Amino acid sequence: MDFTLTPEHKMIEQTVYDFARKEVMPIIKEHDRNHTFPHELLPKMAALGFLGICLPVRYGGAGMDYLSLGIVSEGLEFADSSVRETIAVHLGLHALPIFQWGTAVQKRDFLPPLATGENIACFGLTEPGAGSDVAGMGSRARKDGGDYLLSGEKMWITLADVADRFLVFAKTDPNKGVNGITAFILERGWKGLTTGTIEGKMGVHASNTGWINMDEVRVPASHRLGEEGEGFKIAMSALDNARYGVAAGAVGIIKACLEESIRYAKERHTFGKAIAEYQLVQQMLAHMQQSIDIGQLLVWKAGWLKNQGLRNTRETSMAKWYCTEAANRAANDAVQIHGAYGYSDEYNVERHLRNTKSAVIYEGTSQIHTLMQASYALNERQDRPMRCELPAYDPAVWEAES
Ligand SMILES: Cc1cc2nc3c(=O)[nH]c(=O)nc-3n(C[C@H](O)[C@H](O)[C@H](O)COP(=O)(O)OP(=O)(O)OC[C@H]3O[C@@H](n4cnc5c(N)ncnc54)[C@H](O)[C@@H]3O)c2cc1C
C-alpha cells in the first residue's frame, strides 16, 4: 500500500491550491454577496485543464487519472463550494457519463468542446415533485419518427442558466418504473427548451442553480445517451463520479475551516490567553483534523478503485456521506471559534457553513446514503456489472493523441 502522491499529483495539488488562493479567493466573496456566477473563472479553469482533468488527451482532456479529479475538487472547494460544483456537474455529471456510455461518435463530437470549456454542461434529473425518488419523475419522451419529443420540468439544476448542454432524463416507457427512463443530451437554442435561475438560496450564491423547462423539445436519436431504458443506470453511474468530487471537495472545505480557525484562535485573546490555548477550542480543531484524515482516506480509496476500473458505488457513497456531514460540522465549529465575527461575512467561515449545507442534500441526501449503507451492510444490495463501465485509467491510452 502506498499513500504517497505521485509527482504529477503533487503538481496538480500545487496548481489547484495556487489557483484557489490567487484567482478564486480574491473575487469569490463579492460574487457570493451579489449572487453572481464567476464566469471569468471558466476560461482560466479550462486553460489549466480542470474542466477535462481525467479525460484522455484525444478528447481534449488533460489525460490525468481519476485521483486527479479528486485533488482538483478538493483544491477548488478550499476556496469555495460553488466553484467546485461547476467541476462536479460539468465533468462528473455530464462529460464522464458520455465518456462511459456514449457511442464513438458522441465521444468524438461532444467531449472535446466540454474538456476545453467551449461548451459548459449540466445534468437535469431532479424535478419539482421528484428528487430522491427518481422513478417519480414526470418528464416524458415520446418517439416521433426518428426523433423524440421531450416535455417536462427539471428543478434545482446546477448551471441551468449557464450551460450550453443539458443531460436530461425522461420516461420513454412510464409503465416500467426506473427501467423506463432514458437519457438525452439537449443543446441550448433548441425550440421549446427554456431555463431560469432560482432566487433566494441559503448558500452556494456564486453557483447558478435553476430550472429547465422542456416543451415538446425535438431531440434527434443521435442525442440519446445509451439505450432506451438505460437512463436510471446512467444517472446512478454519473452520481458515482460526481459524489466522489463532492466528497473530495468537502475535504478541501474542512482544510479551509481548520486553517482559518487556527489563524483566528491564535490571534484572538480572552481572559489573557489566545483562545487556541483552551481545550474546548482545541477539541473543535482536533475534530476538523480527524475529519480531514478520515475523509481523505475514503476519497483516495474511491479514486483508487476508479483508476482500477472497479465498481465503487458503496465506497463513493460512504465518502460523500461522511465527508459532507463532517464538512458541515467543521464549518459550524469554525463559525463558533470565530465567535460573533464568524457570524458575519468579514470571514469566510459563515459562507462555508451556508455552502456545506447544500452538499448534505444534493447527490443523495444523508438519509439516502444511510439507507444505501444499511442495505450493503445487510447484504440486501449488490452492485451488478453494467453494459458500460467507467474505463480503468491507463496512462498509455489517456496520453495518446489519437
Ligand atoms: C444547491 C443544489 C444544487 C443541486 N443541483 C442539482 C443538479 O445539478 N441536478 C439535479 O438533478 N439535482 C440537483 N439538486 C437536487 C438534489 O439532488 C435534490 O435536492 C436531492 O436529490 C433531494 O431531493 P429533494 O430535494 O426532492 O428532497 P426529497 O427527496 O423530497 O426529500 C426530502 C427529505 O426527505 C428525506 N427522504 C426522502 N426519501 C426518504 C426515505 N426513503 N427515507 C428517509 N428519508 C427520506 C430526504 O433525505 C430529505 O431529508 C440540487 C440541489 C441543491 C440544493
Give DSSP secondary structure letters for 253-319: HHHHHHHHHHHHHHH-EETTEEGGGSHHHHHHHHHHHHHHHHHHHHHHHHHHHHHHT---HHHHHHH
| pLDDT score at 373 | 98
CA distances from 13 to 1, 83, 332 (A): 21, 16, 26
Radius of gyration of the chain (CA): 21
Mode of pairing for the β-strands spanning 273-274 and 193-197: unpaired
**Grid cell locating 66:** 481519476
Ligand 1 centre to CA of 297 (Å) is 26
The full set of domains in the chain, from first to last, is: 7-120 (1.10.540.10), 122-230 (2.40.110.10), 232-382+392-399 (1.20.140.10)
Please confirm, yes or no, whether 8 is among the known catalytic residues: no
Tens digit of pLDDT per residue, the chain (402 long)? 888 899 999 999 999 999 999 999 999 999 999 999 999 999 999 999 999 999 999 999 999 999 999 999 999 999 999 999 999 999 999 999 999 999 999 999 999 999 999 999 999 999 999 999 999 999 999 999 999 999 999 999 999 999 999 999 999 999 999 999 999 999 999 999 999 999 999 999 999 999 999 999 999 999 999 999 999 999 999 999 999 999 999 999 999 999 999 999 999 999 999 999 999 999 999 999 999 999 999 999 999 999 999 999 999 999 999 999 999 999 999 999 999 999 999 999 999 999 999 999 999 999 999 999 999 999 999 898 999 999 999 999 999 988
Q: Which helix (H) or strand (E) holds 161?
A: none
Contact 257, 286 (CB under 8 A): no
pLDDT at residue 209 in the model: 98
Amino acid type, 86 = T
Mutate to test the pocket of ligand 1, among 37, 82, 133, 156 (most ligand atoms within 8 A of CB): 156
Q: What is the pLDDT of residue 3?
A: 87
CA of 236 to the centre of ligand 1 (A): 14
Those residues with Cβ within 8 angstroms of residue 175's Cβ, 6 or more apart along the chain or in another chain = none
Dist CA 299 CA 240 (whole Å): 12
Q: Let me know: does 67 contact 11? Beta carbons within 8 Å.
A: no
Amino acid 392: pLDDT: 98
Q: Is 206 in the pocket of ligand 1 (CB under 6 A)?
A: no
Pocket of ligand 1 contains residue 362 by CB under 6 Å: yes
Cβ of 209 closer than 6 Å to ligand 1, yes or no, is yes
Three-state secondary structure along 26-86? HHHHHHHHHCCCCCCHHHHHHHCCHHHCCCCHHHCCCCCCHHHHHHHHHHHHHHCHHHHHH
Q: What is the DSSP letter of 393?
A: P
How far apart CA 389 and CA 391 sit, in angstroms, is: 6
Query: From the alpha carbon of 204, which atom of ligand 1 is closest?
Result: 1
Catalytic choice (363, 380, 389, 401): 363
